[in-house]
Amino acid sequence: MRLAVIPGDGIGPEVIAEALKVLGEVVPAAEITRYDLGAARWHATGELLPESVLGELRQHDAILLGAVGDPSVPSGILERGLLLRLRFELDHHVNLRPARLYPGVRSPIADPPEIDMVVVREGTEGPYAGNGGLLRKDTPHEIATEVSINTSFGVERVVRDAFARAAARPRRHLTLVHKTNVLTHAGSLWSRVVEEVSLQHPDVTVAYQHVDAATIHMVTDPGRYDVIVTDNLFGDILTDLAAAVTGGIGLAASGNLDVTRRNPSMFEPVHGSAPDIAGQGIADPTAAVLSVALLLDHLGEHEASRRIEASVAFDLATRDHQSPGATYAIGDRLAALVSSNVRTG
């Protein structure tokens, strides 16, 4: 197993160290290559993602990324030039974001129900396409545009993926989230594709919600969701909210998948570089560890993946959530649990 690791900025390297500690327990033979992409490299060399590095990354089975972003770099440079560029160049069209309320974890919502959903967020088009511009900048007549681009090709492949996931889950329920009553063009395409693909999945129940209504149900009735399929921007928003409702982005893992497997998929915690707590050794590495579980599952190492997830579940059920421990201590605990081969559930 050849893995590329991009620790990145802020707390990225801190949580990645623990994620690799845990990985070492289940796949000791994994070959790891580190890439120092991020704010420091940009400051030193002006480079974001050199072609040669991109070429090397392609030679790996998967990529593990910590976090990207730093206050010293103007907004958008690292995000568009590095993180989104990776997602687009490597055709990470399925941005997979599970949100589960683990036993023992406190939700900010009162009397939370069981929550166990997966958001399939489109990852390579929509409002993230980078299409748009500024006209008459810095004049009173300035115009800024952002073009959301949605293709039949791009929408269909994520909708198919979402249906397949829904069909494989016990509840077999899929919710399309969009804003079809306002974004009528993109909304029409998304709705038609969902309708067509649903014909091949008569066993999957399909629902639709406008994105604004979905944020309401995410706090009043999150247990209703099983699989959500949605566009790049709505998925960005909804998955942060889903993470909040299930205990915070300290626990939310994600996979950026090229489901065709032509390119390596990339796994990363949903949280960012958190510059406010970077360097203090207090970041929770759990989301990074769960991202390793997603990575292993993607590479067919299902048993190793389950062991990590079960260890995290056990730790969350038993940890003192007021003082869960330092970053390294949580990593040590999870590594020990994984190596002792704990099984729960």
Ligand X SMILES: CC(C)[C@H](C(=O)O)[C@@H](O)C(=O)O
Question: Which among 35, 102, 128, 225 is annotated as catalytic?
Answer: 128
Question: Which of 9, 116, 236, 284 is in the footprint of ligand X by CB under 6 A?
Answer: 236
Neighbours of 55 (CB within 10 A): 9
Contact residues for a second copy (CB under 8 A)?
69, 75-76, 79-80, 84, 107-110, 127-128, 132-134, 136, 138-153, 179-189, 191-192, 211-213, 215-216, 218-220, 233, 236-241, 243-245, 248-249
* Catalytic residue status for 236: yes
Residue 127 CB partners (closer than 8 Å, separation 6+)? 146, 147, 148, 231, 232, 233
**Bridge partner residues of 65 (DSSP):** 6
Can residue 79 be called a binding residue for ligand X (CB under 6 A)?
Answer: yes
* Catalytic residue status for 203: no
Question: Which of 45, 75, 145, 181 is in the footprint of ligand X by CB under 6 A?
Answer: 181
Question: Which among 236, 258, 297, 315 is annotated as catalytic?
Answer: 236
How far apart CA 318 and CA 288 sit, in angstroms, is 19
Point out which span in 42-50, 52-60, 76-84, 320-328 binds ligand X (CB under 6 A). 76-84
The option from a second copy, ligand X, none interacting with 185 (CB < 5 to 8 A, set by class) reads a second copy
User: Is 71 annotated as belonging to a binding site?
Assistant: no
How far apart CA 92 and CA 112 sit, in angstroms, is 32
* Catalytic residue status for 61: no
Nearer to a second copy, 6 or 78 (CB): 78
**269's tokens:** 């915690």
Can residue 83 be called a binding residue for ligand X (CB under 6 A)?
Answer: yes
Strands 253-257 and 116-122, bridge-based pairing = unpaired
* Catalytic residue status for 315: no
**129's tokens:** 């396409």
**63's tokens:** 């990529």
User: Is 317 annotated as belonging to a binding site?
Assistant: no
Which residues, 139 to 158, sit near ligand X by CB under 6 A? Answer: none
How far apart CA 52 and CA 45 sit, in angstroms, is 15
Nearer to ligand X, 100 or 307 (CB): 100
Question: Which among 91, 116, 161, 179 is annotated as catalytic?
Answer: 179
Nearer to ligand X, 36 or 212 (CB): 212
Question: Which among 36, 137, 212, 221 is annotated as catalytic?
Answer: 212
| Contact (Cβ atoms closer than 8 angstroms) between residue 190 and residue 126 | no
User: Is 70 annotated as belonging to a binding site?
Assistant: no
Can residue 182 be called a binding residue for ligand X (CB under 6 A)?
Answer: yes
**Sign for the pseudo-dihedral over CA of 100, 106, 112, 113:** positive
How far apart CA 317 and CA 328 sit, in angstroms, is 19
Residue 267: name the closest of 87, 93, 63, 99 by CA: 63
User: Is 13 annotated as belonging to a binding site?
Assistant: no
Can residue 89 be called a binding residue for ligand X (CB under 6 A)?
Answer: no
* Catalytic residue status for 116: no
Q: How far apart are the first and last CA of the chain?
A: 28
Distance set, CA 218 to CA 28, 97, 106, 115, 163 (Å):
39, 15, 16, 10, 21
Neighbours of 180 (CB within 10 A): 18
Point out which span in 78-86, 135-143, 159-167, 193-201 binds ligand X (CB under 6 A). 78-86
**75's tokens:** 């907004």
Can residue 212 be called a binding residue for ligand X (CB under 6 A)?
Answer: yes
User: Is 148 annotated as belonging to a binding site?
Assistant: no
User: Is 212 annotated as belonging to a binding site?
Assistant: yes
| Catalytic residue annotation | 128, 179, 212, 236, 240
Residues forming the site for ligand X (CB under 6 A)? 69, 79, 83-84, 181-182, 212, 236, 270, 272
Which residues belong to the annotated binding site for NAD(+)?
272-284
